[in-house]
Structure 1
Amino acid sequence: MSYGRYGSRVGGLPREAFRPSALFLGLVALLAVSGAMAYLGLGSDRVNVFLFVASGWTVSLCLHEYSHALTAYKGGDDDVAHRGYLTLNPLKYTHPLLSIVLPLLFVLIGGIGLPGGAVWVNHGAIRSRFLDSLVSFAGPAANLVLAILLVLPFSFGVDVTGHYPFWAGLAFLAFLQLTASVLNFVPMPGVDGGNLVYPWLSPEWKRGFNHVAPFGMLILIALLFSPRINGWFFSLVYAIGDLIGLPSFLASDGAAYFRFW
């Protein structure tokens, strides 16, 4: 059956609503090329690692938001497809500043995988409270899965002495996924962890939650500037990293390569 310029359709929606955007594919290409250059030692190691980690982190942010959107779509919210969230295009997010620019800035200045949060979900369309919680869970779960996948070479005992800048960059990228997972699972209003429990709150608690939610991200950022809380946070991240086999020294060296300036 023909549908004009949209071609065939999926679930009543044009296939373009599900097709990866050219921008996302360009980011993946940059990730592949910079990773290959870092692995082969072509050009500047620091610049290669910077591009590898920056593009990899941006791709992971897209996958984080995509996981939210895909779970919402499967749960009953068709609007996420109409808004372009299923195309993995970062420019389609409600707040590209929160989802892409601010997380990248925090990686640059602090080596922290700050969570984004800019997929608008019609929670009233989600079929159950469990699915509503699953929508919030899906984003940080994607970061955690990526962290485990990135750590696999180290778990299997890869020789990092060969192609060291590449492996250091990969370890730092895995470390960023862990920081994003931990931060996102904090049960703070306005963050995925808080949104995960929101459907199960009483009406009174929901009213309080809604008052705090617009400032939740700012509160979380402010807390990270506390030396004690910052120390607890990184201790937890390193403990999880040790548990899954992430070499902390290699992640630290990757961060040093990343800051090429």
Structure 2
Amino acid sequence: MGLLSLLSSDPLAFVIIAAALVLSLAFHEFAHAWTADRLGDPTPRRYGRVTLNPIKHLDPFGTLLLLLVGFGFARPVPINPNNLGRWGTMWTAAAGPISNLLIALVCVLLLKFAGASALAATILMTVLSINVVLAVFNLIPIPLLDGSRILGALFPSLGRSLAQFEAQPFSFVIVMVFIYLFGGQISGLISSVRNWVLNFV
């Protein structure tokens, strides 16, 4: 179900979820760009991606999918693995999910120790859930996701095969079909992790 369905039924929920998604996706991509930049790859900075400005990170088609069907994506950060090396590439890939886990941890701490109004608690719970979803989903080791790039850095021969697959024009369609076919299992995994995290609140 897309976000647009909430616009008429619960406008406040729409605003909270949309804002949390946009900012979380932007922070995720910024983490990739910042890490690559710090590790010696100037490519993200050359494309203006070392920024928290969401406009620089949102993908028009990915955002449209998010609004219509509830699943979307941000614009991938361009990097040059030759500037980063094997381990630099791995840490750049891992930076996105790690950033989402850090945001989720901050939300857990605020909910547990800071005390919050009902509205603030709702916002924090939404941000927490979204960032757990982003972290877990992106760590799945399938092509085009961060998990596959981490796996490819750990096993270079596999990484070369994954890179060749991702370079094919049909790779995006195949990955989307895979996610569609195994959406139930992926959702179950994400829900289990999210519920486990919520036990700490």
TM class by shorter chain equals 0.7 to 0.9
* 4+ residue runs over 4 A deviation: 98-101
For residues 87-236 of structure 1, the aligned pairs below 5 Å read 87-93=51-57, 96-97=59-60, 100-102=63-65, 104-105=66-67, 109-110=69-70, 116=74, 118-126=76-84, 128-156=85-113, 158=115, 163-203=117-157, 205-213=158-166, 214-215=171-172, 217-219=175-177, 221-225=179-183, 227-236=184-193
**8 Å contact from structure 2 (residues 152, 160) kept in 1:** no
Aligned partners of 1:80, 1:232: CA distance in 2, in Å?
Answer: 32
Aligned partners of 2:32, 2:138: CA distance in 1, in Å?
Answer: 12
Q: Deviation of residue 175 (structure 1)?
A: 0.5
Counterpart of 2:7? none
**8 Å contact from structure 2 (residues 97, 139) kept in 1:** yes
Q: Deviation of residue 176 (structure 1)?
A: 0.9
Q: Deviation of residue 118 (structure 1)?
A: 1.2
Aligned partners of 1:116, 1:221: CA distance in 2, in Å?
Answer: 17
Aligned partners of 2:91, 2:149: CA distance in 1, in Å?
Answer: 10
Gaps of 5+ in 2: 1-9
Equivalent position SS for 2:76? coil
Q: Deviation of residue 231 (structure 1)?
A: 2.7
Match of 2:79, as an amino acid?
A: V
Matched, 1:241 2:195: no
Match of 1:129, as an amino acid?
A: R
Counterpart of 1:52? 16
Equivalent position SS for 1:198? helix
Match of 1:221, as an amino acid?
A: I
Aligned partners of 1:229, 1:48: CA distance in 2, in Å?
Answer: 28
Q: Deviation of residue 202 (structure 1)?
A: 3.8
Q: What TM-score do the two structures reach when normalised by structure 1? A: 0.62
Aligned partners of 1:235, 1:212: CA distance in 2, in Å?
Answer: 30
Q: Deviation of residue 92 (structure 1)?
A: 3.3
Aligned partners of 1:98, 1:198: CA distance in 2, in Å?
Answer: 27
- Report Cα offsets for 1:123-143 as digits up to 9, x if no partner: 1111x3111100000011111
Gaps of 5+ in 1: 1-45, 246-261
- Rg larger in 1 or in 2? 1
Aligned partners of 1:96, 1:145: CA distance in 2, in Å?
Answer: 24
Match of 1:148, as an amino acid?
A: L
Equivalent position SS for 1:187? coil
Matched, 1:74 2:38: yes
With over 3 angstroms needed to count, the CA separation of the structure-2 counterparts of 1:88 and 1:100, relative to structure 1, is farther
With over 3 angstroms needed to count, the CA separation of the structure-2 counterparts of 1:101 and 1:152, relative to structure 1, is farther
- Report Cα offsets for 1:99-149 as digits up to 9, x if no partner: 6444x43xx755x7x6545111111111x3111100000011111111111
Give the percent of matched residue pairs that are identical in Structure 1 and Structure 2.
Answer: 26
Q: What TM-score do the two structures reach when normalised by structure 2? A: 0.78
**8 Å contact from structure 1 (residues 146, 174) kept in 2:** yes
Q: Would you say how many aligned residue pairs link Structure 1 and Structure 2?
A: 189
Q: Give me the CA root mean square deviation.
A: 2.9
Counterpart of 1:28? none
